[in-house]
Amino acid sequence: MCKIIAVANQKGGVGKTTTTSNLGIGLAKQGKRVLLIDADAQGSLTASLGFTEPDSLEVTLASIMGELIHDEEVGQMKGILHHEEGIDLMPGNIELSGLEVSLVNVMSRELVLKEYIGMVKEDYDYILIDCMPSLGMLTINAFACADSILIPVQAAYLPVKGLQQLIKTIGRVKRQLNPRLEIEGILLTMVDSRTNYARDISGMLKEAYGSRVRIFSNVIPISVRAAEISAEGVSIYKHDPKGKAASAYQSLTEEVLADGH
C-alpha cells in the first residue's frame, strides 16, 4: 500500500517545499521507499535537492503529463531522478505553467496526475507531492489522487480566511472526485519558540478547526540552518543533524508514520 500525501497551501512562503523534502527524506531514513513529486512551476523542490537548473531538464512532470494527455506511451520510471539521501524525485519546472493552461481543455483534466501515479505507486510506500501556491488545475490534480493533504501554515501570519478557502476546496474535491481524501493535518512552520505567539496561533487553529482537522503536535521552528539548506541540495538531516529543525522533522516523520495507511 502506497500512501499519497499532497503538501499544499495556496499561500506561498509557508515552508511547503522544505516540509516535502525533509519529511520525504525522514521517511526514507526509516526504510520507506519514497517518491517526491515537484508539482510547482517554480521547481523549488527540484532545485533544493541539488538539481539546480530545473528548467533545463528534458523530462519533467510537465512533459510526462503532456504525454499522458496525448495518449503516448510513458515508461514507468522515465524521468525519475535519484537523490543521494535515498529518495526519488519527479522534477518540476516552468513548463508546468503552460501545462496548467492546457489542462483546461482536456477530458478528465483533474485525473491526469492520478493516471501517472497509478503507474508508479507499486514501487513506493509514500509519494509526497509539493503543490504550487494556488488552487489551480495542478493542485486539484494532486488532491484528486492524494490520500491526504498536509497543510503547512506559517505561524507569524495566520490566514484563517485562506485556510477556509483551502478546506472548502478539499471538501469539494472529496465530494466530487476523491471520496477517500482526508486532511493529514495542519503543520505550524517557522515558529519562533521565544514568543508565546506560536501558542496563541496553535490555540486559534484548534478553536477554528481543531474538532475537524488534526493540528500536528510537532511544530517546525524558525531555523537559520534550515534556510541555508536549499542552497546545498541536501536535507536538514545532513546539513545540521543535531539542530532543532532536524529533530522537529524527525518527530513529524514519526507522527506521519504513526498514521500508517
The predicted structure's pLDDT at residue 205: 80
Q: Which residues contact 1 (CB under 8 A, 6 or more apart)?
A: 125, 261
Do the Cβ atoms of 103 and 109 come closer than 8 Å?
A: yes
Number of Cβ within 10 Å of residue 137's Cβ equals 18
pLDDT, tens digit, for every residue of 139-165?
999 999 999 999 998 876 666 666 888
Instruction: Map out the domains of the chain as residue ranges.
Output: 3-259
Q: Does the pTM exceed 0.85?
A: yes
What type of residue sits at position 231? A
The predicted structure's pLDDT at residue 161: 64
Q: Which residues of the chain carry a pLDDT beneath 70? A: 156-162, 196, 198, 224-231, 260-261
Topology classification of domain 3-259: Rossmann fold (3.40.50)
Alpha helices per DSSP H over 30-159: 44-48, 61-69, 95-103, 112-120, 137-145
